[in-house]
Structure 1
């Protein structure tokens, strides 16, 4: 029992705070020996309700081990500014597209609603067969002899 208690106490005392995101989630790490190898364990302690969608992408990458170092506060501020610029650019492009659509210079298209495939062209490939035109087919006797000889040669290969 004391061994379990020692391990639990070690988990709490061995952890080190790596960073905090803008929503207040705290990120920790600790070194742990597993099967003779030192492994780094990473985890998050949520502020308030347990909501995995509140974790920023850069912290998800750190938690999963896709990046070695935790994101810095400067890097997070830069990424937030970049996301904000992207939102503004998207809004500006939508306004421009709506303005051009009102002026009649471009057709208004909605995202996600694409036209179906051109079936007339596809069906047109088969019109010869539907009109009764067929290619000359070899006789059944020739087909059978070819398949038997192919089978025999495959047995000896």
Structure 2
């Protein structure tokens, strides 16, 4: 069963809230906005705050935190992974899909792509691919764009900014 869950990571100064429903989402947004004054202060409120809508998304953010990776760069990388999977006919572009970061395996990052038909695909990507996206993000004005929602929609917006600036 899906239910709300708050994940606090004081080591990485992060807070991830899995919400249910629009009213809860709005309440958590207000809470996170009220914590912005705490960004320079040590404590559980942290400086990285995310809102997610499922336990899978929560596990994805926790995996990123536990490996010390920037979830924003991972979301950009996921766009590339999904695009390649579609080009290889491993994911139907007409289906809804989700790309989830699962963790690391040696020098590779492991992702799972699930679509609405129940099909699942594991992709192992060299860490250097992540580093490319992370470097491009760090060198972009988009690196200052903070959002409580770092997901595919966020990445689709930011990738255009990063690509234009890289030219």
Which category of TM-score, normalised to the shorter sequence, fits these structures?
under 0.3
Specify the structure having the higher radius of gyration (Cα).
Answer: 1
Could you say which structure has the higher helix fraction? 1
Could you say which structure has the higher strand fraction? 2
TM-score (norm. length: structure 2): 0.23
Ranked by relative contact order (alpha carbons within 8 Å, sequence separation 6 or more), the top structure is: 2
